[in-house]
Amino acid sequence: MYADFTPEHGSDTLLLRAVRTVVGHGVTGHWSGDVPHALRQIKAVGDVLSGLPASGPAPHRGTPPLANGWTRDDGTVPAGGAGWPRLLPHLTALARRATVPFTDESERTALLHLFDALASGPLAAGTATLRRVVLREQPLKQGQTPQRRGEVHRCGERTVVLLHSENVYDSTYQHRTVEWIGLDHDPSGAFGAVGHFTVHRSEPLAASLGGDRLTELAALVREFGPVAWSPDAVAELAAAPGCGPAQAALLLLGRPGGTLTADDLAECRDVAGLTRTQVEAGEQRLRALPADARYEVAAALLPADTAALWRTGPDVAAARAGWTERFGGLVRLTEDVDTVALGIPDLSATEAVLNPDRHAWLSRTTTQRVAEQGRLTADAPEALPRPRTLTAAVDGLAALAYGLPYGHPLRAVLPAGQVALRARLADPGLFLDCGLSWPEKGRATTAARLRTAYGLPEAGGEDADGLTRAGAAFVLHPAHGDREMTLLRPAGLTGPDDPAIGLVEGIVGSGAARMLRRIAALLGGDLTRALAADGDFEGPAQDPTRSVPALVTEVAADRGIGADAAALYLQLLALPDPTDRSTARWTGWKPARLKKARAELAATDLVVEAKRARAGRGLFLPGPWLALKAPALPLEGWKSGFYDVTGHTRTVPLLPVPELFARAWERVRSGDVPAYEELTTRATRKGRARG
C-alpha cells in the first residue's frame, strides 16, 4: 500500500528531525532513512482503520490467523517500527512548530505531510477509541517466530494492526516470547482481548488536534507562510511565575523539549537575543518539568481559531494561564541562578526535592517483592526512588546550601527538602540497589561476605517475603543461579557514622560506597546545619569578613598579616573552590584591593605561588595537589578531610561555611599546617678505597 507515495521532503530522516524539534527523544523506533516509510504506513493504517481492506502483500502463509471470531485481511499494511503513534497527543504542539518563522522549510514541509496523512480517518479523531498495544505470543513449533508484521485483524467493528515485533527473553535467555506492537481501534471504546494474544501493555492514544483543524492549518501555512515573530510575546510569557526569558523563548519557538544540536541552540540564541549560557539555563529548567505538561503549554499557544494565529499571533495569554496552573505553585530555581557554578548535578532531582508533594517517589511508599527469576519489583514503580536520583537530590541540596548567598529566598525551603528525604528513607520497607553487590577485590560476592560478618549461614535464612536480612541496613535477595544481590535498607542506618557503612565500604571500595555515604549524610547533623544556616547579613558566606569577622581578626593577629590577606588565607584553607573570580564575587572587592591582599599573602610562607591547570588562581597551600578532571575542580590534598572528594563531580561541603572556616583554622592552630612532606633518606656509606 502506497509503495509509490514519495513526496518531496517526506523522508523518515527529515520527518524524524522535524518532530524531535518538538518532542525531543520522546519519539523513538526504527525510521527508514531517505524513504518516506512512516508516511506510507500512516496513510495505510488510516485507511484500514476506516474500514478499507489492506491491499499490500498477503500475510505469511505459515502463520495461522487468530481464533475467537477474528478475521484477517487478505493483504497487509507497510510494516515497520517508526514510533509515530506516540506523536498523536502532541499534534497541537507540532502544528504550532510548523507556523514558527525560523523552522527549516524542508522540516516544515515534512510536518505538513504528516498532518495530511493523519487528517482523514480515526487516527486524528481525538476520541477514546484508539490505543497502542503490546501483545505477547509464544513462538510456533520448533521455536519458529510467527511472521505477522503488517497484519490486519478484525472482529466486528474492531480493527487491530500489527506494525512490528520484538523478541523478549527471560533472565536465563532460554525462553523466548514474541511481542507485537500495534494499534487497536474499537469504535465502542470497550476493547478487550485480542484473539489468543496476551495484552501485555496498552496505552490510550488520542490526537490533540482533529483532522479538520490539521487540514485547515496545513492549508493556511501553504497559503500565507509562517507567522511573524513577536519579541513582546517572549516578555509576556516570561513573566509567568517560575518562567523566564529563555524558557519562554523555547516554548514560543515550538521547542518545549529544548534543543538537540548546535544549530538549534544558535536559532534560540539569535532569535531571542539570548546568550548561549542563558539558552542552556532555560533548557535545563524546562526539561526539569514534566514533559506532558510542557507540551500542553506549548500547545496552548495555538488559538482555538486557527486563522487568528496569522492575525493576532500566538495565544500567549492561554499559554501563560496554562503555565501558571501547572507550574505556578512550584519552588523553582530562577534562570539567574547559575546551576553549573553551584555544582548542581541534576536540576530535575533538585527541584523535585524542593517540591516533594508533587513527586510520588518522595511523597508515597510502595511494597517491593521478589518476582520471577529473583527480580525485585515494586507494586507502584513511580513511588520507588532511584538511588542516583536520591543522591543527586542530596548533592543538589548541599550545593544550594553552600552556594546560595545568605538572605536568598530559596534558603528558607532547603530544610523542608531534607525532612522529605528523611521521611522517605525512614520507610522500613524501602530497599535500594546502590551498586553494592560486587566487591572491589576477590571473587566472593558482597552478600557472601556480609553473611560471614553478620553470622548468617552460607545460604538460606530468607524471611517470608523471600529476602534475607543482614543486620539492620542490608537485605540480600536471590539473583541468577546461586548469586545474591545486596540491597540497602536505609531505614536501618543510624547516621553517617553507622558501622555498616565502614563495613561495606571495606568490601566494595570508597567509590562504590559514595552513594551510601550520601544517603547516610542526610541523617547527620552537618548537612542539617548547612541547610538551616543563614546569617544576619545578606551575601555569600564565603566572605569571611562578613560570616566570621572575629576569626579574620584572630588569624590576622596570629599570622602577622592584614585583615584582607587573612580573609584570603581563610578562603584558601577552607573552601574547595577559591578561584580568583569566585573570591572577587564573594568579597565584592575592587581589583586593586584584591591585588594588594594577594601580594601581601604571597610574600609570606603560608602559601606558594604557581601556575596550575584549571586552578583559576595563582596562590596555593603548600603540600600535595589533587589534579582532578572536569567537572571537578583541582584542589589541595590537605583539604580533602573537610569534604567528600570524588574526582567525578564538583566538591561541595556538607558543613555551614562559617563552621568550615573555624575547623580549618583550628586544624592549623593544632599544628596540622599545610606543608610539603619531608623526604627522609639514609646517608650513603662511603665506598672502600681501592688500592
Give one DSSP letter per residue of 333-354, joined into a string.
--TTS-HHHHT-S-HHHHHHHH
Question: What is the C-alpha to C-alpha distance for residues 634 and 675, in angstroms, rounded to an integer?
Answer: 17
Question: What is the C-alpha to C-alpha distance for residues 259 and 277, in angstroms, rounded to an integer?
Answer: 13
Could you tell me the three cell numbers for 551?
A: 576569626
Which bin fits 9, alpha (ψ -120 to 50), beta or left (φ > 0)? left
Residue type at 250?
L
What per-residue confidence (pLDDT) applies to 106?
97
φ, ψ of residue 292 to 5 degrees: the values are -60, -40
Residue type at 511?
G
Residue type at 671?
G
What does the CA dihedral 371, 375, 379, 383 come to, rounded to 10 degrees? 170
Q: What does each C-alpha distance from 398 to 336, 391, 576, 598 come to in angstroms?
A: 19, 10, 13, 29
φ, ψ of residue 119 to 5 degrees: the values are -65, -35
Could you tell me the three cell numbers for 313?
A: 499571533
Q: What does each C-alpha distance from 511 to 183, 314, 339, 446, 514 come to in angstroms?
A: 46, 51, 24, 15, 5
The residue with cell 567528600 is 644
What per-residue confidence (pLDDT) applies to 26?
82
The residue with cell 584553607 is 573
Beta bridge partners of residue 203, listed in sequence order? 132
Question: What is the C-alpha to C-alpha distance for residues 592 and 578, in angstroms, rounded to an integer?
Answer: 18
What per-residue confidence (pLDDT) applies to 68?
85
CA angle, residues 604, 607, 609, in degrees to nearest 5: 100
The residue with cell 551510601 is 516
What per-residue confidence (pLDDT) applies to 683?
47
SS in 3 state form for 176-224?
EEEEEEEEEECCCCCCCCCCCCEEEEEEECCCCCCHHHHHHHHHHHHHH
What per-residue confidence (pLDDT) applies to 372?
66
What per-residue confidence (pLDDT) applies to 688?
45
* Span between the terminal Cα atoms of the chain, in Å: 105
Residues of the chain with pLDDT under 50: 172-173, 679-681, 683-691
What per-residue confidence (pLDDT) applies to 414?
97
Alpha-carbon 133 to chain mean position: 27
Question: What is the C-alpha to C-alpha distance for residues 557 and 570, in angstroms, rounded to an integer?
Answer: 13
CA angle, residues 254, 257, 258, in degrees to nearest 5: 85
What per-residue confidence (pLDDT) applies to 223?
97
**Number of neighbouring beta carbons within 10 Å of residue 35:** 16
What per-residue confidence (pLDDT) applies to 687?
44
Residue type at 504?
V
Q: Which helix (H) or strand (E) holds 469?
A: strand 468-470
SS in 3 state form for 23-41?
HHHHCCECCCCCCCHHHHH
**Number of neighbouring beta carbons within 10 Å of residue 318:** 16
Q: Which helix (H) or strand (E) holds 516?
A: helix 514-521
φ, ψ of residue 184 to 5 degrees: the values are -120, 115
What per-residue confidence (pLDDT) applies to 370?
82
What per-residue confidence (pLDDT) applies to 481?
66
CA angle, residues 322, 327, 332, in degrees to nearest 5: 150
DSSP state of 673: -
Q: Which helix (H) or strand (E) holds 309?
A: helix 308-312
Cis peptide before 624 (omega within 30 of 0): no
Question: What is the C-alpha to C-alpha distance for residues 594 and 617, in angstroms, rounded to an integer?
Answer: 12
Could you tell me the three cell numbers for 60?
A: 505469511
**Number of neighbouring beta carbons within 10 Å of residue 236:** 16
What per-residue confidence (pLDDT) applies to 469?
94
Burial (CB < 10 A; 0-12, 13-18, 19+), residue 411, is middle
